[in-house]
Amino acid sequence: MRKIKAGIITILILLVAAFALKVITERAKQTTENQNIFSLNNEQTVESESHFYYDRLSDIQKEIYHKILNEIGKQPEKIKISSSDGDDIKEALKAVSYDNPSLIGLKTNFQINPNFLKNTYVYPEYKYDYPTYSKKCTELAEKAKEVVSGVNLQASDFEKELYIHDWLIEHCKYVSTEDYDETHTAYGAIVDGEATCEGYARAIQLLFNMVDIENYVVIGQAQSDTKNERHMWNVVKINGEWYNLDATWDDPLSNDNKEYVNHTYFNITDTDLQKTHTADYIADAESCTATAENYFIKTNSFFSSFNADDKTRLASLLAVAANNGETHLEIRFSEQIYKSSVDELFSKGALFRVIDIANVAIESNKLNSKEFIYSKTENLNAVSLIF
C-alpha cells in the first residue's frame, strides 16, 4: 500500500512518455495481431488504453488529457496548457495515469504561472534516459505478451480473469515502499516480480485490457492490522456484471513460508469489500452487487448450510484438489452459519469425518488430518485449508 500525495499546486503521478506507449504497441504488433497494449489512431495520436476516468472529465479536462498524452512522447521540457486552472490539470493528469497502466517511470509536476496569465505549464521529470526508457517499455510489452499467450482467448471472461490473477500472484512478491519506483508500476509486477498494491492493480489492469476484460483501478483506504492505509485495487466487468477484485489481498504468505494463491477477494460485492476497504470518491462509479461470478459461487465452494450432504460435497472438493496435485482448498460459508460450521469442523471433529470420506476417492497421497492447517478470513466468512 502506498500514500498518494496530491495538491492543487503540485502533483506527483506516475506516468510514461507517449513514446513509451508507442514502443510497446509496435513490439506487441510484431508478436500478435490481437493482443495490443494500446493503439494509435489514424492521426497518429495516442489512444488511451481505457476510458473510465477519461469519460468522467469535463470537456476542458478531456482536452488537457489528450494534449498531455499526445505531447509527452516528445520529452518536452514543458507542455503548454491554454486557459486552464490547476484543478483541471490535476484531474486530467490523474485520469491519464489511472486509465493507462503502461505508464511507467515518469514523475510529472505541474505548476501554475505566478502571474496567473492564460497559460499553465506541465513540467515533466524523466526518470530514465531514452535508451533505458525504450528498453523497459520493450521488456514490459514482451513479458505482458508472454503472459497473455497462456490465456485461451475462447475461454470465458471468468477463466481469463482467473488465469491472469493466479499468474500474477504466483510470480509477484508484495513489497511495501513509499518511494515512487518500479514497484508502483505494471513493470515492477510483471517484469521484476515485486510490487506494491499499486503495481498489482496496474498489472491486472494492463493484462485484462489485453484480453478484452473491461476494468479500472480504484484508489482508497484499506484496513490492515487495525490501521487504515492507502490502497489500490480493481473493478472488473465479468459476464456483463461488475465486481471488486483485490489481487494484493489474495497474495498471502502462509506460516510455513509456502505461498498459496487465495481467491477471497476475487469478484466480491461492494457490501463485502466495504467491510475493509473504502474507495475515494468516483463520479458515477459502477455498483458491484452481483454474485454469480464470485470465486466461491463459481467453484461450488460456498456453503449456505452444513448438513451431511454439504460435508460430502466438501469431501468431494478435497478429493478433486488432492487428485489434481493441489495442497490448498478455499471454502466460504454464509454469515448465518459461519461460526457454527467452523466450530463443527475444527472443534467437534467434523473435519476428520470429511477427510475419511475424501480419502475413499483419492487415488494416492491420501490426506493426513495431522498435516492439515487452516486460516480464516472472518470478515468474509472464508476458510483456507492447507494439506
The 3-state secondary structure of 145-182 reads HHHHCCCCCCCCHHHHHHHHHHHHHHHCEECCCCCCCH
C-alpha distances in Å from residue 295, one per residue of 198, 215, 238, 267:
22, 17, 12, 7
Q: How big is the chain by its Cα radius of gyration, in Å?
A: 23
Residue partners of 52: CB distance under 8 A and separation at least 6: 98, 99, 216
319 pLDDT band (50/70/90 cuts)? very high
pTM assigned to the model: 0.86
Query: How many Cβ atoms are within 10 Å of 256's Cβ, its own excluded?
Result: 8
What does the pLDDT read at residue 130?
72
pLDDT digits (tens, 9 = 90+) for 15-56: 333 333 333 334 333 333 333 333 333 333 456 678 999 999
The predicted pLDDT at position 255 comes to: 47
Residues 121-175 pLDDT 10s: 888 777 777 788 788 889 999 999 999 999 998 999 999 999 999 999 999 999 9
Structure confidence by residue, pLDDT tens digits, 51-109? 999 999 999 999 999 998 888 767 788 888 876 678 888 899 899 889 989 878 766 55
Residue indicated by cell numbers 496567473: 116
Query: Cβ(268)–Cβ(332) under 8 Å?
Result: no
Report DSSP letters for 293-360, one per residue: T-HHHHTT-EES--SHHHHHHHHHHHHHHHHTT--EEEEEE-TTTHHHHHHHHHTSSHHHHHHHHHHH
Dump pLDDT digits (tens) for 355-385: 999 999 999 989 999 999 999 999 999 999 9
